[in-house]
Amino acid sequence: MLEGAKVLPLMQLQVYINHKHRGEMMQYSKIYIPTVKDAVQESEALNYRLLHKAGYARKNAAGIFSLLPLGNRVLQRLISIIEDRLEAFDIFEIFLSPTVSIEDFYKNIMTGKKSAKELSIGAWHRKTNIVEGIRPRLGLLQPKVWEAIEGFKLLENMDALNIEHNIAVEAYRKIMRDLNVDFIEVEQLSWKFSGEWDKVFLLPYENGEDSIVRCTGCGKSTMVDSMACEAISQAAEPELELKMEYTPQVKTIAELTEYLGVEASDIVKTLIYKGDDKLYGVLIKGNRELSEAKLKKTMNCHVLRPATAEEVFEATNSEVGFAGPIGLKAEIICDYEVAAIKNVIVGANKTDYHYMNVVLGRDFEAKTIADLRNCDAMDKCPECGVNIQLIRGFSLGQVRKIGSSHTNKQELMVINNQGSPEYFYILDFELNLFRILAAVVEANHDDVGLVMPRQLAPFDVVVMAVHSDNEVQTNAAIQIYEDLNALNYHVLLDDRIDRVSLKFKDSELIGIPLRITVGRKINEGIIELKYRNEEMQEAHINNLTELLLTNEAEHVKET
């Protein structure tokens, strides 16, 4: 039974039924539900094929989808589930203009000196996100436009932040489990709080856009840019003579390996970054990918981004593609692996030239040597030393910590109990509603159609007469509709004058958890109940309410 439902005595039920306006009924014939029996092209993602067949959604253009009445009902129920979880720890919905960011909002409410006693303050809102530059190919898992929930909670100190972070993570777990969504709980180095970890809830998916590593031993899961990689010992090899090589228009690692006939691991790339107001040259082997999360932690900067072409020229006096550490006008940060090898190839800070046989300590110096690279399948788990596996997927949501150094940059503070100003802490979170919907659909279907979780289905029950033009059957179906509606069930009355077999197929395709059918046995007071993926059972109409309440109690117990 739905949370908060009221069980009315039969006499009250009858009064309610007699006075209820029949025009308020949710009638199938009045709702746009364009189910189709044939799937769209197989090239479409599974989630969209299922949503299209069930009449939930339609694609308007590549990566742009409209939710039809059923799809929108499911979205609203999903939001309601999330809202209940958020309100349980005092985070309430607000409306924000599309021109106002959630960060702008909490900056605004924290203007002036507020007392620490006024914290914690929490809020969330719905947000429409638009992204360009992607090739959308996986339905609602990878759209150009999608709906999300984002919010925050402002907190007085680190202890409060840790407590609220744990509460939020547990709420996320409950949401995903309630919806029967397969997920991996992943740790990621925080971008806004040095030394802390964010939590990412990831849907495992072969073609996903995110990469994580999972230890095959202890099971620890980490984003690929956040797992610690071991330092490597200095290689024992003779130092060769430094020389410059002419490499016309050879700018990329792939072009350089082909031109010089070397391996990518023999090359060291110099990546120019701007951290706060300072330029850095970041050295990493040519066959590796830089972890910006690790770099930001190492630099301990507030804002990090790749340098512009103008900034690259400022640091190198050359075109992009020829940066190197020798003579670089930027602070040099070097990955452990680079520090462990000699005689490498680097850019010469001169257009169309590279240096050969470069040695750290002889030809240039590095201010910092640290773990800066993404891990790969050859690495071992830093916790237990066992092999790792790489998994791809999509982020469904994140819970992040934002430290006082971030609020310090924005001059946001409160007055503590001693009367002194201090910077506060922020719990920040986001949920991708379209991805969660797509994940639910892909996890809850069979060969017939959708098998929606009870709390998320567009309707809890569909009621139908075998013959809609039969007055006795139709009146009984309406009576059942009214009874269940009074008990706060979400009920759909299939009033279409059509073959009952077609109605059966549509209810299964849509994924409604329970179908109640009124047929010729209604003269004996007998109706049929069919739960999705269960055998049909007969029941007396007078016992229906009691039977459903018993079934709901059993379902709650199982859950």
Q: What is the 3-state secondary structure (H, E, C) of 257-299?
A: HHHHCCCHHHEEEEEEEEECCEEEEEEEECCCCECHHHHHHHH
| Element of type H or E holding 177 | helix 158-178
DSSP structure class, residue 460: S
Mean pLDDT for the stretch of residues 75-101: 92
Query: What percent of the chain shows pLDDT beyond 70?
Result: 91
* Residue-by-residue DSSP string for 487-525: TT--EEEE---S-HHHHHHHHHHHT-SEEEEE-GGGGGT
Phi first, then psi, for residue 496 (nearest 5°) are: -70, 140
Secondary structure of residue 179 in the 3-state scheme: coil
Handedness of CA 410, 414, 420, 424 (dihedral sign): negative
Mean pLDDT for 118-146 is 89
Q: Is the pLDDT at 84 greater than 80, yes or no? A: yes
Residue 8, both tokens = 């009315």
Chain length of the chain: 559
Q: Are residues 73 and 205 both part of a single domain?
A: yes
Residue 533 lies in a domain: yes
CA distance 47 to 234: 50
What is the rounded CA–CA span in Å between residue 427 and residue 123? Answer: 11
Distance between CA 297 and CA 333 in Å, rounded? 12
Q: Is the pLDDT of residue 7 over 60?
A: no
Tell me, what CATH number does 151's domain have? 3.30.930.10
Residues 303 and 424 in one domain: no
Identify whether 4 is part of a domain. Answer: no
Of the candidates 514, 512, 515, the one whose C-alpha atom is nearest the C-alpha of residue 56 is: 512
Read off the pLDDT of each residue in 426-455 and give the average, rounded to a whole number.
94
Q: Are residues 257 and 341 in the same domain?
A: yes
- What does the pLDDT read at residue 165? 95
- Pair (511, 415) in one structural domain: no
- Closest to 23 (Cα-Cα) out of 495, 459, 468: 495
CA–CA separation, 346 vs 369, rounded Å?
17
What gap in Å lies between CA 105 and CA 153, rounded to an integer? 12
Pair of tokens at residue 315: 């640091």
My answer on whether 126 and 203 are in the same domain is yes
Does residue 2 fall inside a structural domain? Answer: no
Between the ranges 18-27, 110-119, 362-371, 373-382, where is the mean pLDDT highest? 362-371
Q: Worst-scoring range by mean pLDDT, 194-198, 240-244, 404-408?
A: 404-408
| SS3 state of residue 11 | helix
CA distances from 495 to 460, 468, 476, 520 (A): 17, 6, 12, 16
pLDDT at 14 exceeding the cut of 60 = no
Cβ neighbourhood burial of 316 (10 Å; 0-12, 13-18, 19+): buried
Claim to verify: residue 523 and residue 436 sit in the same structural domain: no
Query: Which one is predicted more confidently, 555 or 211?
Result: 211
217 with 142, same domain: the answer is: yes
Does any domain span residue 328?
Answer: yes
Question: Does the reported pTM lie above 0.95?
Answer: no
What is the model's pLDDT at position 133?
77
| Torsion of the alpha carbons at 445, 531, 458 and 122, rounded to the nearest 10 | -90
Give the C-alpha separation, 483 to 554, whole Å: 21
Alpha-carbon distance of 275 to 300, in angstroms, equals 9
Q: Residue 472: which domain range?
A: 10-26+459-558
> What is the domain-level CATH number for residue 271?
3.90.960.10
CB atoms under 10 Å from CB of 112, counted, come to 5
pLDDT tens for each residue of 487-526: 889 999 999 999 999 999 999 999 999 999 999 999 999 9
The reply to whether 63 and 199 lie within a common domain is yes
Cβ 496 vs Cβ 503: under 8 Å: yes
Give the chain's largest Cα–Cα span: 101
Residue 300: pLDDT band (50, 70, 90) is confident
Give the tokens for residue 226. Answer: 């956040």
Positive or negative, the Cα torsion across 99, 104, 109, 113? negative
* Same domain, yes or no: 60 and 181: yes
DSSP, res 480 = H
Mean per-residue pLDDT, 325-353: 95
Residue 377 pLDDT grade (very low, low, confident, very high; cuts 50, 70, 90): confident
Q: What is the DSSP letter of 362?
A: T
Rounded CA separation 67/79 (Å): 14
Whether 396 and 535 map to the same domain: the answer is no
Alpha helices per DSSP H over 30-117: 46-53, 69-87, 102-109
Query: Quick check: 7 and 546 in contact, CB under 8 A?
Result: no
**Which residues share a beta bridge with 392?**
211
Residue 132 pLDDT grade (very low, low, confident, very high; cuts 50, 70, 90): confident
- Domain assignment present for residue 269? The answer is yes
Helices (H), ranges, 301-397 = 309-316, 336-339
pLDDT averaged over every residue in the chain: 88
**17 within some domain:** yes
- For position 491, which CATH number holds? 3.40.50.800
- Alpha-carbon distance of 431 to 434, in angstroms, equals 9
pLDDT band at 547 (very low <50, low <70, confident <90, very high): confident
Beta-carbon contacts of 309 under 8 Å, excluding residues fewer than 6 positions away, are 320
Q: Which of 6-10, 274-278, 347-351, 383-387 has the least mean pLDDT?
A: 6-10
Measure the CA–CA gap between 328 and 313, rounded to whole angstroms: 10
The model's pLDDT over 17-43, given as tens digits with 9 standing for 90+, comes to 333 434 478 999 999 999 998 767 777
At 193, the pLDDT band (50, 70, 90 cuts) reads confident
Q: How many domains does the chain have?
A: 3
Q: Do 499 and 438 share a domain, yes or no?
A: no
Q: Give, in order, the Cα–Cα distances in Å from 64 to each of 36, 141, 395, 517.
A: 20, 11, 19, 38
Which structure tokens are listed for 397? Answer: 């949501």
192 pLDDT exceeds 90?
no
pLDDT at 16: 35
Same domain, 344 and 408: no
Dist. CA 299–CA 305, nearest whole Å: 12
Kindly indicate the confidence band of residue 356, based on its pLDDT and cuts at 50, 70 and 90: very high
Q: What percent of the chain has pLDDT over 90?
A: 69
Answer yes or no: are the C-beta atoms of 63 and 441 closer than 8 Å. Answer: no
**Domain-embedded: residue 237:** no
- Domain for residue 33, yes or no? no
